[in-house]
Structure 1
Amino acid sequence: MPAQSSPHALRPNTPPSTSLQALLDLTGATVATPVTTETIVTGIEQRSNAVRSGDLFAALPGANSHGARFAADAIARGAVAVFTDAAGAALIGEVAVPVLVREQPRAVLGELSAEIYGHPSDRLRIVGITGTSGKTTTSYLVEAGLAAAGLSTGLIGTIETRIGGRRVPSALTTPEAPQLHAMFAAMVEQGVQAVVMEVSSHALALGRVDGVRFAVGAFTNLSQDHLDFHADFEDYFAAKRKLFEADSPIAARTAVICVDDEWGTRLAGELTAPVTVSTVGAVPSGAATEGPAWSRSATSSGPADRRAATWQAGDVQATGGAQEFTAAGPDGELTVRLRLPGRYNVANALLAVATCAAAGVDPAVAAPALATVDVPGRMQRVERGQDFLAVVDYAHKPAAVESVVATLRGHLTEVGHGRLAVVVGAGGDRDAAKRPLMGAAAARGADLLIVTDDNPRTEDPAAIRAAVVAGAHELPATDRGEIREIGDRAAAIAAAIAWARSGDVVLIAGKGHEAGQEIQGVKHPFDDREVVAAALEALQTRHSPQTDSEDLTVS
Structure 2
Amino acid sequence: MSTTEPPSSGRQPSGAEPSLRPARVTPVPLSALAELIGAPAQDFGTVLLTGVSLDSRAVEPADLYLALPGASTHGAQYAGQAVAAGAVAIVTDDDGARLLHDLPELAGVPVLVVPSPRGVVGTAAAFVYGTGHAGLDGPPSEGPSAAAMELYAVTGTNGKTTTTYFINSLLRALDFTPGLIGTIEILAGAGAVPSRLTTPESTDVHALLALMRERGLDAASMEVSSHALSFHRVDGVQFDIAGFTNLTQDHLDLHGTMEEYFATKAKLFGPHRARRAVITVDDSWGQRLAREAAIPVTTLRTVEVSTAEVGQSREAVEQSNGPEQSDWQVRQVEKRGLGSSFILAAADGRTLRVSTGLPGSFNIANAALAVVMVLQLQEARGESAVLKRVQAALDSHDPFTLAVPGRMQLVGKSPTAIVDFAHNPDALERALVAVRSSEPESKVIVVFGATGQRDAGKRPKMGAVVARLADVVIITDDDPHDEDAASIRADVLQGARNANDEQAFGHEILEIFPRADAIVRAVELAGPQDVILVAGRGHEVWQEVKGVNHSLDDRAELRAALRRCGFTPEPVPGIES
- Is TM-score (shorter-chain normalized) higher than 0.5? yes
Is 1:539 the counterpart of 2:565? The answer is yes
SS in 2 for 1:316: strand
User: CA 1:379–1:298 in 2, change beyond 3 Å: closer, same or farther?
Assistant: closer
Is 1:389 the counterpart of 2:416? The answer is yes
Is 1:360 the counterpart of 2:378? The answer is yes
Q: CA–CA distance in 1 between the matches of 2:450 and 2:61?
A: 43
Is 1:370 the counterpart of 2:393? The answer is no
1:337-356 matches, cutoff 5 A:
337-356=355-374
Amino acid paired to 2:414: D
Is 1:429 the counterpart of 2:458? The answer is no
CA contact (8 A) 2:167 2:370 kept: yes
Is 1:209 the counterpart of 2:234? The answer is yes
Q: CA–CA distance in 1 between the matches of 2:129 and 2:400?
A: 37
Q: CA–CA distance in 2 between the matches of 1:326 and 1:460?
A: 48
Q: Which runs of 4+ in 1 moved over 6 A?
A: 284-287
- Which stretch shows the higher mean deviation, 111-120 or 354-363? 354-363
Q: CA–CA distance in 2 between the matches of 1:222 and 1:139?
A: 17
SS in 2 for 1:257: strand
1:96-115 matches, cutoff 5 A:
96=107, 97-115=109-127
Aligned counterpart for 1:278 among listed residues 275, 279, 301: 301
1:8 Cα shift?
4.8
1:319 Cα shift?
3.5
1:472 corresponds in structure 2 to 496
Amino acid paired to 2:84: A
User: CA 1:260–1:99 in 2, change beyond 3 Å: closer, same or farther?
Assistant: same
Aligned counterpart for 2:59 among listed residues 44, 51, 62: 51
Q: CA–CA distance in 2 between the matches of 1:313 and 1:24?
A: 50
SS in 2 for 1:372: coil
SS in 1 for 2:365: helix
Aligned counterpart for 2:97 among listed residues 84, 89, 104: 89
Is 1:398 the counterpart of 2:428? The answer is no
CA contact (8 A) 1:339 1:374 kept: no
2:552 corresponds in structure 1 to 526
2:30 corresponds in structure 1 to 20
Q: CA–CA distance in 2 between the matches of 1:297 and 1:522?
A: 45
Q: CA–CA distance in 1 between the matches of 2:253 and 2:164?
A: 25
1:211-360 matches, cutoff 5 A:
211-246=236-271, 249-250=272-273, 252-271=274-293, 273-282=296-305, 288-290=311-313, 295-297=318-320, 304-305=323-324, 308-329=325-346, 330=348, 332-360=350-378
CA contact (8 A) 2:464 2:500 kept: no
SS in 2 for 1:507: strand
Q: CA–CA distance in 1 between the matches of 2:407 and 2:115?
A: 43
2:8 corresponds in structure 1 to none
Q: CA–CA distance in 2 between the matches of 1:105 and 1:16?
A: 24
Amino acid paired to 1:115: F
Q: CA–CA distance in 2 between the matches of 1:132 and 1:120?
A: 28
Q: CA–CA distance in 1 between the matches of 2:336 and 2:505?
A: 27
Q: Aligned pairs, how many?
A: 526
CA contact (8 A) 1:423 1:493 kept: yes
SS in 2 for 1:334: strand
1:154 Cα shift?
0.4
1:88 Cα shift?
0.8
User: CA 1:295–1:62 in 2, change beyond 3 Å: closer, same or farther?
Assistant: farther
1:297 Cα shift?
4.8
Amino acid paired to 1:158: T
1:166 Cα shift?
1.9
User: CA 1:520–1:267 in 2, change beyond 3 Å: closer, same or farther?
Assistant: same
- Output the aligned Cα RMSD: 2.2
SS in 1 for 2:192: strand
Amino acid paired to 1:433: G
Amino acid paired to 1:274: V
CA contact (8 A) 2:66 2:91 kept: yes
Relative to the length of structure 2, the TM-score reads 0.87
SS in 1 for 2:168: helix
Aligned counterpart for 2:529 among listed residues 481, 503, 506: 503
Is 1:460 the counterpart of 2:468? The answer is no
Amino acid paired to 1:516: W
Query: How big is each residue's C-alpha offset from its partner over 1:443-488, in whole Å with a ceiling of 9 and x where there is no partner?
Result: 1111110000000110100000000000001214422510000121
SS in 2 for 1:391: strand
CA contact (8 A) 1:462 1:487 kept: no
1:76 corresponds in structure 2 to 84
CA contact (8 A) 1:19 1:37 kept: no
CA contact (8 A) 2:132 2:236 kept: no
CA contact (8 A) 1:224 1:434 kept: yes
Q: CA–CA distance in 2 between the matches of 1:283 and 1:429?
A: 33
Relative to the length of structure 1, the TM-score reads 0.91
CA contact (8 A) 2:336 2:357 kept: no
Q: CA–CA distance in 1 between the matches of 2:18 and 2:315?
A: 43
Is 1:449 the counterpart of 2:449? The answer is no
Q: CA–CA distance in 1 between the matches of 2:226 and 2:202?
A: 14
